[in-house]
């Protein structure tokens, strides 16, 4: 609801896309500081197709879903640092993080992209086609868990994935993590989005609006689980809505 209110207010104010600061993307001291980061180091380096997709998504009623561009920039850096070729994307929406990965991995790289909603993926698809990266994308319209389980039926898939980005139903992050710990190779990276859930993880439950409580509970449980998991090295980076970077070490 807060996101719907934010959408209606910014739409009514006639804000341009670059002025919009999403509630879930403001964990910093001030909106000005966030704006400064976007304007000095993120937007000037954002690839043209990504900017086009971000702007095309801005008028959609769920535009707050799109991965924050500053978090996206770090994800692209990580993809490059591990030379990611085989990747998984859980939660596509219109495809900001998907296109980012598709633009970053090499031409013979592959992304298994999973979402229950093909319609929103198809909003971004013409931009992905125009960018010449569609051949790297295998979009699967399905809940993600059975797709991961199916991949794991093939023993050869174990340890075959270099990188995964998870940005779907928050209550399933723990289940995705268990599957991904088998699919990702040792040294590979998994990034989870929204792990600070708009900063609500540090608020007493009573101070959190009802509609934000489930997401907050999922984030709290997931953050504890991942912190205690010896199979990964982790970093919870306060970018966007909080992204947890995990490197599989065993
Ligand atoms: C926050 S959006 C993803 C945003 C995307 N990463 C981007 O950069 O635009 C979450 C997506 O997860 C999808 N989703 C929700 N539950 C899912 C599930 N069980 N399996 C796969 N996708 C799911 C929704 O349809 C939605 O498109
Ligand atoms: O406000 C949201 C909600 C979600 C969300 C909720 C339930 C699902 O099954 C999937 C996604 O995701 C969000 C998100 O990823 C984000 O960056 C901001 C807000 C929300």
| Whether the CB of 96 sits within 6 Å of ligand 1 | yes
| Whether the CB of 120 sits within 6 Å of ligand 2 | no
pLDDT, position 97: 98
> Hunting for tokens 């490059």 — which residue is that?
80
| Whether the CB of 24 sits within 6 Å of ligand 2 | yes
Q: Name the residue at shortest CA distance from atom 12 of ligand 2.
A: 65
| Whether the CB of 141 sits within 6 Å of ligand 1 | no
| Whether the CB of 164 sits within 6 Å of ligand 1 | no
Q: What is the mean pLDDT of each successive set of 10 residues along the chain, which is 250 residues long?
A: 40 45 68 93 98 97 96 98 98 98 98 98 98 98 98 98 98 98 98 96 96 97 98 96 97
Q: Name the residue at shortest CA distance from atom 18 of ligand 1.
A: 143
pLDDT, position 9: 38
Q: Name the residue at shortest CA distance from atom 5 of ligand 1.
A: 92
| Whether the CB of 194 sits within 6 Å of ligand 1 | no
Is 233:246 a contact under the CB 8 Å cutoff? yes
68: tokens are 């924050």
Q: Is the ipTM of this complex over 0.90?
A: yes
Residue 240 main-chain phi, psi, to 5 deg: 55, -120
| Whether the CB of 115 sits within 6 Å of ligand 2 | no
pLDDT, position 27: 80
Between helices 210-227 and 173-183, what is the axis angle to 10°? 30
Q: Name the residue at shortest CA distance from atom 2 of ligand 2.
A: 65
Which atom of ligand 1 lies closest to the CA of 165?
Answer: 6
- Strands (E) across 82-179 are located at 86-90, 110-115, 137-141, 161-166
Distance CA 198, CA 19 (A): 19
pLDDT, position 24: 59
Distance CA 209, CA 215 (A): 11
Which of 28, 102, 104, 106 is closest to 68 using CA atoms? 28
pLDDT, position 250: 98
Distance CA 109, CA 130 (A): 18
Residue of 116, 166, 215 to mutate, ligand 2, most atoms within 8 A of C-beta: 215
pLDDT, position 29: 77
């Amino acid at each position: 609801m807060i996101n719907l209110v934010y959408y209606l207010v910014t739409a009514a104010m006639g804000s341009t896309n670059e002025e919009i600061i999403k509630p879930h993307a403001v964990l910093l001291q001030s909106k000005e500081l966030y704006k400064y980061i976007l304007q000095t180091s993120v937007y000037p380096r954002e690839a043209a197709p990504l900017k086009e997709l971000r702007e095309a998504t801005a008028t959609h009623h769920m535009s707050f879903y799109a991965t924050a561009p500053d978090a996206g920039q770090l994800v692209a850096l990580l993809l490059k640092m591990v030379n990611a070729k085989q990747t998984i994307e859980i939660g596509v929406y219109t495809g900001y993080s998907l296109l980012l990965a598709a633009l970053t991995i090499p031409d013979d790289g592959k992304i298994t992209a999973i979402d229950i909603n093909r319609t929103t993926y198809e909003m971004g698809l013409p931009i992905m086609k125009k960018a010449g990266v569609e051949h790297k994308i295998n979009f699967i319209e399905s809940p993600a868990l059975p797709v991961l389980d199916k991949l794991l039926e093939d023993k050869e898939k174990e340890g075959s994935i270099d990188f995964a980005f998870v940005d779907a139903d928050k209550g399933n992050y723990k289940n995705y993590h268990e599957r991904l710990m088998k699919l990702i190779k040792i040294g590979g990276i998994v990034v989870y989005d929204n792990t600070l859930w708009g900063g609500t993880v540090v608020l007493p439950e009573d101070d959190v609006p009802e509609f934000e409580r489930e997401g907050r509970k999922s984030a709290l449980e997931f953050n504890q689980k991942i912190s205690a998991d010896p199979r990964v090295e982790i970093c919870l980076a306060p970018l966007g809505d909080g992204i947890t970077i995990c490197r599989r070490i065993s």
